[in-house]
Copies of this chain bind each other. A is one copy, B any other.
Amino acid sequence: MEHRIDRIKKQLHAQSYKLTPQREATVRVLLEREEDHLSAEDVYLLVKEKSPEIGLATVYRTLELLSELKIVDKINFGDGVSRYDLRKEGAAHFHHHLVCTECGSVEEIEEDLLEDVEKIVKNDWGFQVKDHRLTFHGICKQCQQETANTTT
């Protein structure tokens, strides 16, 4: 944890930003809840538990900053809310998501499945890919099993 905070600190410094206490508190929440896909409001409430004096606008500003520096990714699953997702250390690319339309769960795929596709895009469309967003909508393993059970 401390190691990752340190790295983020350095990334901020590299762009002459500071890791203020408020920013650190926000980053800590993101690290603790790395598996989740928190909205700004979610982050705000969690940060508030430990640093009650923080303001919502500050959280928004911090998330925006982290997003610009590609430390977090801002994603949108179609409900009206942006969600913020810590990028894995050293990951050049956004990871993929599996959104279950039954139970709403969100799984992550770390490995990059798009290398071949990106080659095609480059060769056939002349488009120079910098980043991608891939989300699958469907039915997760668990929900499939539950449906199978109730049917039997």
Interface residues of A (CB under 8 A from B): 74, 76, 78, 98, 100-101, 107, 109, 113-114, 116-118, 120-121, 125-141, 144
Nearest B-chain residue to A127, judged by Cβ: B98
Check A136 against B121 for contact (C-beta < 8 Å): yes
Check A133 against B131 for contact (C-beta < 8 Å): no
Number of copies: 2
CB-defined contacts of A132 to chain B, threshold 8 Å: 134-137
Check B109 against A125 for contact (C-beta < 8 Å): yes
Of B120, B136, B140, B141, the contact of A113 (CB 8 Å cutoff): B120
CB-defined contacts of A98 to chain B, threshold 8 Å: 121, 125, 127
CB-defined contacts of A129 to chain B, threshold 8 Å: 136-138
